[in-house]
Amino acid sequence: MGRPHGLPALQGTEKDHRQRSERRGEMLEVQHHMDENGAGRQSTWANDLIRALAERCQDHPERSIPAFTWLVEKRGLLEDIAWLRAHNLGAVPKNLDAAGLSAAALENLKAERQAALDACETEKQAEKIEERYAEEERRLQKFTEILLKLDDKMWIDAVVYIYSDEHGNPVSLNVRQEKLETGDGEKHCMRIQPKIGPRGLFCPVETCGAEWAGKLSTIIVEGEHNWLSLLRRADEWGAGYELDGFAMGGKNGADRNAAKRVLAGQKPLVIYDNDTMNDHTNRPGGWDLVDALSFLRVHLGFHRQRPRRWAWPRNVLHFRNGEA
């Protein structure tokens, strides 16, 4: 996506950037959501644990020279800690203490279990409570096996992308250790997600700037850095040109509920990766994202003919070499 016609290349002071960063940073405020099934409530250990992990990782970028340098110099993001934090970025600290966080979660789970048992009125209710919390404890133990990998020194200073659910709460972390990447295109990543289900959205922004009102649909992209590069450019354009949208992080595991909430019924503008052509579908590999979002009734609009004789929808753009 190019710069809006007539705008200078750079606009906005450091104060402007920080004010927008503070507004976006509010999206990481977490509240615990419990259902209303009495003794059948969902345990809160997963919400508590992912929140603690996200907060510790967000506190670390200013002390992580490798992660900060890679994000700014290699990926071209703003050299501003507040901006990086506000856009749901972090880094794995040396003192993350994943084992300690898991142990604390287990203690909280046991206390929650006992409180639920104390509130039971019948033996049948107590049996259901025991079964449910036994399953919760097994889930926590299984998740701990993955979580403990973050205590390995190989993950220190890895970049962390924080994904949110439909309520704006952290639900998963995508951890990327660029120091282990060899330049062959393969990413060295690990997903940290204690809750069963979709992974959430990366850096959802729900309100666009006044200059875009009625002119631009909510944007959906696949990769985190596709979205971050657009947000970075929008901040350069100045106040009033903020973009609303989010990154799905790929078609598999896409969080449909969160996407529907952000879109609020409108048809999105999908920007997909211009990957190698798929000989079977005769379309770029990135088109899979458009197919995966068909439930959102993506507006395809007018078509233009391109090589390979297939139509490229007017409001479905593509990324190539890091540029839109």
225: CATH: 3.40.50
| Residue 91 pLDDT class (50, 70, 90 cuts) | very high
Q: Give percent of the chain with pLDDT exceeding 70.
A: 70
Quick one: average pLDDT of 35-41?
39
- Whether 79 has a pLDDT exceeding 80, the answer reads yes
Whether residue 181 lies inside any domain: the answer is: yes
Quick one: average pLDDT of 187-211?
91
Q: Please answer whether residues 315 and 301 qualify as being in contact, where contact means their C-beta atoms are separated by less than 8 angstroms.
A: yes
CATH of the domain at 169: 3.90.980
Tokens at residue 73, please?
């110099």
Whether residue 285 lies inside any domain: the answer is: yes
Find the length of the chain.
Answer: 324
Whether residue 5 lies inside any domain: the answer is: no
Tokens at residue 131, please?
């079964």
**Looking at the 3D structure of the chain, how many domains does it have?**
2
Q: Are residues 225 and 257 in the same domain?
A: yes
Q: Are residues 172 and 222 in the same domain?
A: no
Task: Tell me what pLDDT residue 36 has.
Answer: 33
| Residue 198 pLDDT class (50, 70, 90 cuts) | confident
Q: Give the domain-ending residue among 149, 175, 192.
A: 192
Whether residue 29 lies inside any domain: the answer is: no
Task: Tell me what pLDDT residue 107 has.
Answer: 94
Query: Cα-Cα-Cα-Cα dihedral of 120, 123, 125, 130, to 10°?
Result: 90
Could you list the residue range(s) of the whole structural domain that residue 240 is in?
201-319
240 in the Ramachandran plot: left (φ > 0), alpha (ψ -120 to 50) or beta?
A: left
pTM of the full structure: 0.77
Whether residue 248 lies inside any domain: the answer is: yes
Whether residue 1 lies inside any domain: the answer is: no
The angle at the Cα of 250, spanning 44 to 297, to the nearest 5 degrees, equals 95
Helix residue ranges per DSSP H, 196-272: 224-237, 256-263
Whether residue 12 lies inside any domain: the answer is: no
